[in-house]
Amino acid sequence: MFRSARQVKREDQWAAFEGEALPCLDYLYRIAMWLTRNHTEAEDIVQETFTEALKSFHRYEPGTNCRAWLVTIMYHLNSKRLRAGSKLRLVYDSEIRASATAAYILPTPQGITDEDILSALHALPVQFQEVVVLSDVEDMTYKEISAALGVPIGTVMSRLHRGRKLLRAELLTCANEHGIGRARDEVSGQASPFAG
Amino acid sequence: MECSEFDDIADLYLGDELQGETNHEVLQHLEGCAACRRELAARREFRARLRAAFYGDAAFSVRPEFEERLRADLRSKALGPAIARPALFRRINGWPVAIAASLLIAVGIGLFTLQQRRLSQPPPADVATTGGDARTAAKRNVEVSVPPAQHQESPGVRNTSFALSEAAIGDHRDCAIKFNLAEDPIDLEEAGRKYDAAFTNLTSVVKTRSEDSAGQFEFIESHSCVFKGQRFAHVVLNHRGSVVSFLIAEREQDGKNTRTGQAAPPNDARLEVVACSSSGQFQVSCFETARHVVFVVSDLREADNLAVARAFAPALHEHIARSENTA
């Protein structure tokens, strides 16, 4: 059947999009859920992200990191969404809090549940949450996170450092609340609920 | 490396963000420091736990119905509503469709073969005796030249044969786009001496016209090549990022189209440039001299391809007609 040059081009573009962008759906949805905490909103933002990506797919360079490109679009759309809904959360500087946190401690499967971990993450200021999720959960590089969030790499690194420290502190609090941990961490000398 | 330094970069090490030299220093330090090895193991486990918490939570999983709706919506946006099948056909999948399609193709091929047989017979007396009413002949030519499914000829085509036009498309695709011709191209001037005097100096005609175009056309190369036995003069240009082929072929030795017996236009007739066919992504425009056909093939839009052909047609027509008149 005769197909116009435009139709052929469209089909080629769709095939490329289907092959490169759509496999990132699970990944994008996880981040969207984390950002919105709501299924409907997460689906909306994922749909918007893919629609936007389809429109500008000609700008995507094949072979580069499509996942990081999509996350950049999603964060851009999410910022707009928050501004439009006046829901932008102001983030306080947690440096003082971070500096007072404990040294690294080993979470133990028996003591800390997945729910505890997610709750502890939720308790962090959003700017720390997002870098921890993008780096430690979704394995994005500092450079990719920097592009997605529109902040310098140095800021990504310092937020990650602080974010991880805060998260550990939250987990320690959580463990203490559960009465977990009686041993002492041999390195830090602090009470640790996680020692073997 | 001190333990405090290691503590600062342990996460960079885990994230594979360190440069080779620093990485090496970290490894050296870890070899001799049990405390930092425990610290690293703790951080690694922490990440693993965090990831497991996300991946294990059903709330973070995509609902299948959402995935399906999203895919359908994006597909419709990408391909347009024309691609979506009507409700009636959505229920008809698999073998019934394949069988119906095969039958249609078989009938199409049968009709096409019959038409080709009719074409190979001498022209009817009315066309032969009247010497060929141009409009009637052109109409007849279009009617009998029903191409295979992939190829569309416009009513604008005159007595340019379908086979020649198809060869031009094939040559553009295999020579200019894929560089995959069975026979190596030869120098155009050499082809001018050996095969067709009209090929001589074609390059300079196209180059001169390109230079007058204020950078719209960029000359890429010229040569003479053969596609399925048909020799062409082939000049390749770049126009707005698209490869454009000018393919010039001698139509018939006696200046007539052997299929239709239709006379070629005399060289002093009004120059007519038409969008003559299309196939897949390629558009073809063409014009004729007494003994040659010039095809312009590209993946430009039909109107743009025609505009390119019209921009070069006067200069090319003049050059080819002069060579024909001299011969």
Partner-chain contact A50 B70, CB within 8 Å? yes
Using a CB-CB cut-off of 8 Å, the residues of chain A touching B38 are 106, 187
**Buried/exposed B60-90: b ≥16 CB within 10 Å, e otherwise:** bebeeebbeebeeebbeebeeeeeeeeeeee
Q: How far apart are CA B206 and CA A162, in angstroms?
A: 67
pLDDT tens figures, B176-214: 887 777 788 899 999 999 999 999 999 999 988 888 877
Q: How confident is the model at residue B232 (pLDDT cuts 50, 70, 90)?
A: very high
* Confidence at residue B95, expressed as pLDDT on a 0 to 100 scale: 57
Instruction: Count CB atoms within 10 A of the CB of residue A110.
Output: 8
Partner-chain contact A39 B59, CB within 8 Å? yes
| DSSP labels, A108-130 | -TTT--HHHHHHHHHTS-HHHHH
Q: Which residue of chain A is at minimal alpha-carbon distance from B70?
A: A47
Q: What is the complex's ipTM, to 2 decimals? A: 0.71
Q: How confident is the model at residue A114 (pLDDT cuts 50, 70, 90)?
A: confident
Its pTM stands at 0.45
Kindly state whether B299 is in contact with chain A, defined as any CB-CB distance less than 8 angstroms.
yes
Measured in angstroms, the CA of A21 and the nearest CA of chain B are apart by: 11
Supply angle C-alpha A95, A98, A104, rounded to 5. 150
Residue B33 or B278, more confident: B33
pLDDT tens figures, A160-180: 888 888 888 877 776 666 555
Q: How confident is the model at residue A84 (pLDDT cuts 50, 70, 90)?
A: low
- The bridge status of strand B151-153 relative to strand B292-298 is unpaired
